[in-house]
């Protein structure tokens, strides 16, 4: 059950087997049903969450009720609301399970204890956040420089497996366009092939 997380650690740092042991004791497994909330707007995000199986979507609800998808999550990804987790402020995010989902989660206290007991882990998370930051900047860059159709092409090229599992509706809200616009843009895309 910890293999996936362990393998993920080892991509970035090397751990002794005692350190592995310590890490593994800090996480708790949890299962969610399809359509169940992992986090709901207004709650404080109390966990960093690693997905073992399933698929999630993190989104905000805009003033006119539109949903704006900030992040999807699949097997081997970390999700949560980093701001809320560290600040203790209520989150403005909803995290929803698009499929039945299994996760490993760690609380803030355990997280800090883990940093103390296994300082290398601080490096792991630094690298992780660094990669997430780079990805976020790339997304901003795409938003600035490319029209909707090219962002769509980029999306399905970068995450080919997601196209199967996530509705176009939700991809549209990730790209920042309406489902209608995405539909039109896709049919134009077909014609050009």
Partner DNA sequence: CGAAAATTTGACATGACTCAACTGGAGTGG
Partner DNA sequence: CCACTCCAGTTGAGTCATGTCAAATTTTCG
Q: Which of 93, 75, 94, 81 is nearest to 37 (CA)?
A: 94
147 binds, among DNA, its own copies, none (CB under 5 to 8 A by kind): DNA
Burial pattern 152-163, b for ≥16 Cβ within 10 A else e, equals beebeeeeeebe
Q: How many CA atoms lie within 13 A of 152 on its CB side?
A: 23
Nearer to DNA, 3 or 65 (CB): 65
Nearer to its own copies, 2 or 77 (CB): 77
Judged by CB under 8 A, the chain residues 140 through 179 that form the site for its own copies are 140-141, 143-145, 173, 176
133 binds, among its own copies, DNA, none (CB under 5 to 8 A by kind): its own copies
Nearer to DNA, 92 or 168 (CB): 168
Contact 54, 102 (CB under 8 A): yes
First to last CA, the chain: 43
Nearer to its own copies, 24 or 137 (CB): 137
Hey, which residues does 47 pair with through a beta bridge? 107
Report residue 159 as tokens. Answer: 């995450």
Q: Which residues bind DNA (CB under 7 A)?
A: 64, 66, 147-149, 167-170, 176-187
Q: Where are the alpha helices (DSSP H) in the chain?
A: 3-12, 17-26, 82-87, 108-117, 120-145, 148-158, 162-165, 168-175, 179-192
Closest approach of DNA to the CB of residue 60, in Å: 16
Q: Select from 24-32, 35-43, 131-139, 155-163 the region that touches its own copies (CB under 8 A).
A: 131-139
Contact 62, 68 (CB under 8 A): yes
Among 134, 161, 163, 169, interactor with its own copies by CB under 8 A: 134
Closest approach of its own copies to the CB of residue 183, in Å: 19
82 lines the binding site for its own copies (CB under 8 A)? yes
Number of residues this chain uses to bind its own copies (CB under 8 A) = 30
Report residue 117 as tokens. Answer: 């007991």
Residues near its own copies, by CB under 8 A:
60, 62-63, 66, 68, 70, 82-83, 86, 115, 119, 122-123, 125-126, 129-130, 132-134, 136-137, 139-141, 143-145, 173, 176
């Amino acid at each position: 059950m910890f293999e996936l997380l362990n393998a993920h650690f080892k991509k970035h740092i090397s751990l002794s087997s005692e350190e592995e042991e310590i890490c593994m004791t800090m996480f708790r497994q949890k299962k969610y049903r399809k359509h169940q909330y992992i986090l709901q707007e207004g709650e404080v995000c109390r966990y960093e969450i690693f997905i073992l199986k399933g698929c999630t979507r993190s989104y905000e609800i805009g003033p006119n009720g539109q949903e704006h998808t900030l992040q999807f999550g699949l097997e081997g990804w970390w999700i949560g609301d980093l701001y809320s987790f560290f600040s203790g402020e209520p989150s403005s995010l909803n995290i929803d399970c698009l499929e039945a989902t299994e996760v490993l989660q760690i609380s803030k206290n355990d997280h800090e204890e883990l940093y103390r007991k296994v300082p290398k882990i601080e490096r792991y998370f630094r690298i992780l956040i660094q990669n997430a930051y780079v990805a976020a900047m790339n997304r901003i860059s795409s938003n600035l420089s490319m029209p909707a159709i090219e962002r769509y092409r980029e999306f399905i090229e970068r995450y080919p497996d997601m196209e199967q599992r996530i509705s176009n509706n939700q991809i549209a809200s990730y790209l920042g366009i309406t489902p209608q616009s995405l539909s039109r843009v896709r049919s134009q895309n077909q014609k050009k092939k």
